[in-house]
Amino acid sequence: MDISSNKTPITNAIPIIIDNPRIISETNNNNNDNDNNDNDNSIFDVYIRTDMKFAYGYSNFIKLLCSIKFFFCFLSTMFQSYTYMYSFILPIVGYIGAKKYNNCFNYLHIFLTFLNSINTITFMVYFYTSPIYQNNAIYGFISILDIIICLWIIRIVYIFSTYIKKLTEEEILFLKIYKEYDAVIW
């Protein structure tokens, strides 16, 4: 009898995915008399969940993107015009939202990035309808690339804000204070 002709399954196993939570508990060894402690030296007793790791990874990645954007805003104001000073608002708001795990700043960052995309589309349409700039393919390529990157950033910040909604206040405070180095970085 051939094994391949047998139609019965060998096993009915269902894969089990374990979140592998770790408990982080740290005590405060600084016993000053002027501190108002309630005789409880425990700072945190937190399970490190997958949502916390993803939120931490997205936070670091958004901070990196905002730092790069800040650098390019600095270059554009240095070489073009000082009227571009308003462009510093976008990376600053994004960096604050990622650092403080604050959804208000994250939604403001999404809104400002969306306005930046609309601004890019408007200028691209204006320049391509103008007879002077009609044959400038480099500007069109850079504009389309900027729009795609803006949409990608909107997606990343929105996913980050959904992870923040899943976390408790204690977990967010833990992520602000402690560094989890085995987090997923995108």
User: pLDDT digits over 20-67, tens only?
Assistant: 455 555 444 444 444 444 444 445 566 778 888 889 889 999 999 999
Is 16 domain-assigned? no
Helix, strand, or coil (residue 45): strand
- What CA–CA distance (Å, rounded) separates 166 from 124? 39
Q: What is the pLDDT of residue 18?
A: 44
Is 108 domain-assigned? yes
Helix, strand, or coil (residue 47): strand
Domain that holds residue 108: 50-177
Helices and strands in the chain, H and E counts: 5, 2
- For residue 166, the tally of other CB atoms under 10 A from its CB is 13
CA angle 54, 42, 59 (to 5 degrees): 20
Range in 9-23, 35-49, 78-92, 157-171 the model is least confident about: 9-23
Average pLDDT over residues 139-163: 89
Is 166 domain-assigned? yes
Is 35 domain-assigned? no
Is 67 domain-assigned? yes
- Beta bridge pairs of residue 45: 25
Global pTM reads 0.69
Question: pLDDT higher for 153 or 79?
Answer: 153
Q: What is the pLDDT of residue 33?
A: 46
Is 159 domain-assigned? yes
Is 58 exposed, middle or buried (CB count within 10 Å of its CB: 0-12, 13-18, 19+)?
buried
Question: pLDDT higher for 74 or 84?
Answer: 74
pLDDT at 82 over 70: no
Average pLDDT over residues 60-89: 81
Q: What is the pLDDT of residue 47?
A: 73
- What CA–CA distance (Å, rounded) separates 121 from 107? 21
Number of domains making up the chain: 1
pLDDT digits (tens, 9 = 90+) for 97-146: 999 999 999 999 999 999 988 988 888 888 778 777 666 777 778 888 88
Q: What is the pLDDT of residue 180?
A: 58
Is 93 domain-assigned? yes
Find tokens 């994004």 and name the residue: 94
Decide if 71 contacts 106 (C-beta within 8 A). Answer: no
Q: How far apart are the first and last CA of the chain?
A: 51
Find tokens 């391949």 and name the residue: 4
**For the ranges 1-15, 37-51, 140-154, the one whose mean pLDDT is highest:** 140-154
**For the ranges 27-36, 82-91, 170-179, the one whose mean pLDDT is highest:** 170-179
